[in-house]
Amino acid sequence: MPAEVYLDNASTSFPKPESVYQAAEKFMRYGGASPGRGSYPKAQESERILIKLRSKLSQLLGVRDPANLIFTTHATDALNLALKGYLKEGDHVVTTDLEHNAVLRPLTHLRTTRNIGLTIVKSNSQGKVDPDDIKKAVTPKTRLVACVHASNVLGTIQPIQEISRTARALGIPLLVDGSQTAGAIPINVEELGADLFAFTGHKSLLGLTGTGGLFVRSDLDLQPLREGGNGSHSNSLEQPTERPERYESGTPNMIGLVGLLAGIEYLLETGIDKIRTHELELNRALMNRLADISGVKIYGPEAQLKTAITSFTLGSLDPAEVGQMLGKKFGVCVRTGIHCAPLTPQSTIRLSLGWANTREDIDKACQAVSEIATAIYRRA
């Protein structure tokens, strides 16, 4: 079996920077205390780690007040908090056909439980949503626009600033699902015009699984998904009203968050621009090489207009079959299917690049696809 080539970074990034493993191990062995609940040095150190993480993440995402960043267990949890915490009986939501199940399933649930009205705007063949279509879908009952920042199927980056301008002009808040963009492209959440911005820690932010979060604009009040202890106002039976405590009950995933802090420090030191340029160059090379292979059809826009994803099909072969061959015979790890985006019209083979990929990885992957293509034509 050849050495593994990992091209499934849009699912979760791998490997992580060495500092992420070291920080998590150090915390497990020598730290380990719960933050905000003890007066001894280790507990205070855990508290300091969370304060530092909130501050560095605010720096990375362009959030002015770190208290507006709420930690969750992943983007799915953040999106559930945004949707279930904000929407009320009979509200109407405009969303898109590019959304992940992390948005569409809570909305479908809310349709039944809170009688939410839903309009799903269609993207074009390149996976891009037209802000005018969002505007046309708004009704007097619309209370939220929910749009993914970049599709996890095609990678297409959406015109979020224009969508935000449209929504703001109508007085409607905008929820952005930044699962595929946080850490992947430079972002300033407040300049972007997102009122709510959900992200996950284990993809391009280079942290560990079980981490994520939600930016909530200061004047937007969400109902918490859960109440409980967090070390503050312990003598009160009521949930604290201030942020972030209002939304962060229960002992946090400290190991994951320590890893996330190390991932974010790596990004701040290296520069997201630099990593973006590296991934862009590799993705361009990948697209060019794949396009030369007989039977390959690439979906979505040119590399500059998307995150480092290339989705393709190979002749009439079932993408799942191609994915299995790539994994088993060539050690190339990819994802196939509709990628948890249920309104995606086309099942594809998705190669998604990360900070650690090299030209050699691209060569090996393309060689593997080429060999599979040749084998099929021999078979036919």
C-alpha span between 196 and 69 (Å, rounded): 10
Torsion of CA 332, 336, 339, 343, to 10 degrees: 160
Q: Residue 105 is which amino acid?
A: R
Give least dist CB 340 to ligand PLP, A: 6
Q: Has 340 been annotated as catalytic? A: yes
| Minimum CB–partner distance for residue 147 and ligand PLP (Å) | 11
* Beta carbon nearer to ligand PLP, 46 or 158: 158
Q: How far is CA 265 from CA 60, 207, 223, 291, in A?
A: 9, 10, 31, 37
Contacts of 318 (CB under 8 A, 6+ apart): 347
State how far the Cα of 96 lies from the Cα of 297, in Å rounded to an integer.
Answer: 24
| Residue 98, CA distances (Å) to 70, 124, 142, 283 in order | 25, 10, 19, 21
Q: Report helix, strand or coil for 212.
A: strand
Q: Which residues bind ligand PLP (CB under 6 A)?
A: 11, 74-76, 100, 102, 148, 152, 177, 179-180, 200, 212, 340
- Minimal distance, residue 202 CB to ligand PLP, in Å: 6
Least distance from ligand PLP to the Cβ atom of residue 102, Å:
4
214 vs 303, beta carbon nearer ligand PLP: 214
Shortest Å, Cβ 342 to ligand PLP: 12
Instruction: State how far Cα 119 lies from the chain centre.
Output: 23
Residue 72: which residues within 8 A CB-CB, separation 6 or more?
78, 81, 212, 213, 214
**Candidate list 147, 333, 340, 366, residue with the active-site label:** 340
Q: Which residues pair with 350 in a beta bridge?
A: 311, 335
Toward ligand PLP, which CB reaches closer, 43 or 148? 148
Based on CB atoms, which residue is closest to ligand PLP, 260 or 366?
Answer: 260
271 burial type by CB count under 10 A (0-12 exposed, 13-18 middle, 19+ buried) = exposed
CB closer to ligand PLP out of 278 and 335: 335
Question: Which residue numbers are catalytic?
Answer: 340
